[in-house]
C-alpha cells in the first residue's frame, strides 16, 4: 500500500537532476572539472520531501484505529504534507501553527485549509505550537495520533556510482540535511556543508544558527542544539529563509 502511494500519489522517487548550466558556470570560472546535481524533492506532491514521511505515518495511524491527526509546524510545509496525507486517507487533521508564522506563511495556511484541515493559531512560534499539539495528543491517546516531522534518507546518493566530494544542505530543523548527510557522516573523504541562517549576524541575537551558537539540552524529551538565554530559557530563532 505504501509503495503504491509513493509511486502514484507522492510521485516518488524524485530525480537526481544534473545541473548542466550551473556546472558549466563553475567549471569555466574556476578552471576545475566538477559536476553539480540537485536532488529534486520539490517535485514531490505538495512541493517538498515532507509527504514521504506524512503518508507513511498517516497509514500507521489508520492501522492503529486513530481517527484524528495532530501536527505542529513552523513554516508550514510539514502541515501541507500532513493535510494531503489525511485527505488521501480520510482522516481528520488539526494543524497547530504559531500566529507569527501564520502571518509569514499565508500561502501554506491556505494550502492546508483548502483540503479541509483545521489550522489552529497558537501565540508564539513553532516551539509553542509543538507544546500545544503534544498536549492535544496526550489528552486523547485513544483517538488522536501525533504526526511528527522527520529525517529523510540519503537515496539515491550512495548508489550514484561513486562517492560525492561535497554535500551541501540547508539546516532548519534538520530533516533535509541529516537525511542527506547520514550515509556519509563517518566518511572522511566526503565534505559535508551545512548552511544556517545568521540573520543580522551571529552576535546580534537575531539568527537561527543553533549548531554554531546553540547549546546541547533537552526539548520535548529530545536532546538537541538550542538557542537559550542565561537562565536556560529557549530563545526563538530569527530567520526569513536559509
Sorted by where each begins, the domain ranges of the chain are 57-146
Confidence of residue 144 (pLDDT cuts 50, 70, 90): very high
Omega before residue 156 within 30° of 0, cis: yes
Mean pLDDT, residues 32-38 taken together: 87
Q: CB within 8 A of 133, min separation 6: which ones?
A: 70, 71, 72, 96, 146
Q: What is the model's pTM? A: 0.75
Per-residue pLDDT, averaged over 15-44, amounts to 86
Q: What is the pLDDT of residue 236?
A: 80
pLDDT digits (tens, 9 = 90+) for 156-208: 666 667 788 999 998 877 777 887 888 888 999 999 999 998 889 999 888 98
Q: What is the CATH number of domain 57-146?
A: 3.40.50.1100
| pLDDT tens for each residue of 77-105 | 899 999 999 999 999 999 999 998 898 88
**What does the pLDDT read at residue 240?**
67
| Per-residue pLDDT at 69 | 97
Amino acid at each position: 500500500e505504501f509503495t503504491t502511494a509513493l509511486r502514484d500519489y507522492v510521485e516518488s522517487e524524485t530525480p537526481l537532476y544534473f545541473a548542466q548550466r550551473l556546472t558549466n558556470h563553475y567549471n569555466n570560472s574556476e578552471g576545475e572539472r566538477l559536476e553539480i546535481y540537485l536532488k529534486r524533492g520539490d517535485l514531490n506532491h505538495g512541493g517538498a520531501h515532507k509527504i514521504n514521511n506524512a503518508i507513511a505515518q498517516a497509514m500507521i495511524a489508520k492501522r492503529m484505529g486513530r481517527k484524528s491527526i495532530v501536527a505542529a509546524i513552523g513554516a508550514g510545509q510539514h502541515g501541507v504534507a500532513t493535510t494531503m496525507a489525511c485527505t488521501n486517507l480520510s482522516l481528520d487533521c488539526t494543524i497547530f501553527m504559531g500566529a507569527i508564522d501564520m502571518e509569514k506563511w499565508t500561502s501554506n495556511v491556505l494550502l492546508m485549509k483548502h483540503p479541509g484541515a483545521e489550522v489552529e493559531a497558537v501565540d508564539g512560534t513553532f516551539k509553542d505550537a509543538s507544546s500545544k499539539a503534544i498536549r492535544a495528543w496526550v489528552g486523547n491517546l485513544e483517538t488522536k495520533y501525533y504526526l511528527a516531522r522527520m529525517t529523510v534518507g540519503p537515496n539515491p546518493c550512495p548508489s550514484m556510482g561513486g562517492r560525492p566530494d561535497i554535500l551541501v544542505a540547508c539546516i532548519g530543523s534538520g530533516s533535509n540535511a541529516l537525511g542527506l548527510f547520514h550515509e556519509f557522516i563517518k566518511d572522511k573523504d566526503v565534505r559535508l556543508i551545512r548552511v544556517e541562517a545568521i540573520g543580522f549576524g551571529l552576535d546580534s541575537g537575531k539568527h537561527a544558527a543553533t549548531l554554531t551558537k546553540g547549546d546541547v539540552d533537552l526539548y520535548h524529551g529530545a536532546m538537541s542544539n538550542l538557542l537559550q538565554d542565561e537562565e536556560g530559557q529557549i530563545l526563538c530563532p530569527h530567520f526569513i529563509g536559509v
